[in-house]
Amino acid sequence: DIQMTQSPSSVSASVGDRVTITCRASQGISSWLAWYQQKPGKAPKLLIYAASSLQSGVPSRFSGSGSGTDFTLTISSLQPEDFATYYCQQANSFPPAFGGGTKVEIK
């Protein structure tokens, strides 16, 4: 099974900051990676799919990059509504696996 490792597990940032979250797969997954945002008490929301494609309706300050084993989610200018937990997910092979999550907190 493919393991997904996210770092950091949490990050403190201020509004306007650039935030970068990384996700590493235990083996190559090409570009079969998605990023989700989850706010407390809410279901996850798809932000990025195929490593770098922005889901419809998601603000352009979110971007994704990477392929193979190393991936990045970047928030170019953090907004108040972006404080949440972010998860990566691989869709290359069964079972689909999620990273452990990165909590973006207010500094």
Partner 1 sequence: EVQLVESGGGVVQPGGSLRLSCAASGFTFDDYAMHWVRQAPGKGLEWVSLISGDGGSTYYADSVKGRFTISRDNSKNSLYLQMNSLRTEDTALYYCAKVGISGWVLYYFDYWGQGTLVTVSS
Q: Which residues bind partner 1 (CB under 8 A)?
A: 34, 36, 38, 42-46, 49-50, 55, 87, 89, 91, 93-101
Q: What is the phi/psi pair of residue 30, to 5°?
A: 55, -125
14 or 42: whose CB is closer to partner 1? 42
Report in angstroms how near the CB of residue 82 gets to partner 1 at its nearest. 19
14 or 56: whose CB is closer to partner 1? 56
Report in angstroms how near the CB of residue 16 gets to partner 1 at its nearest. 28
> Which residue carries 């990676």 as its tokens?
33
Question: Cα Rg for the chain, rounded, in angstroms?
Answer: 13
Report in angstroms how near the CB of residue 60 gets to partner 1 at its nearest. 19
Pairing of strands 102-106, 10-13: parallel
**What are residue 57's DSSP bridge partners?**
none
Report in angstroms how near the CB of residue 29 gets to partner 1 at its nearest. 11
**What are residue 24's DSSP bridge partners?**
5, 70
2 or 13: whose CB is closer to partner 1? 2
28 or 96: whose CB is closer to partner 1? 96
Q: With CA atoms as reference, report the closest residue to 21 among 70, 90, 54.
A: 70
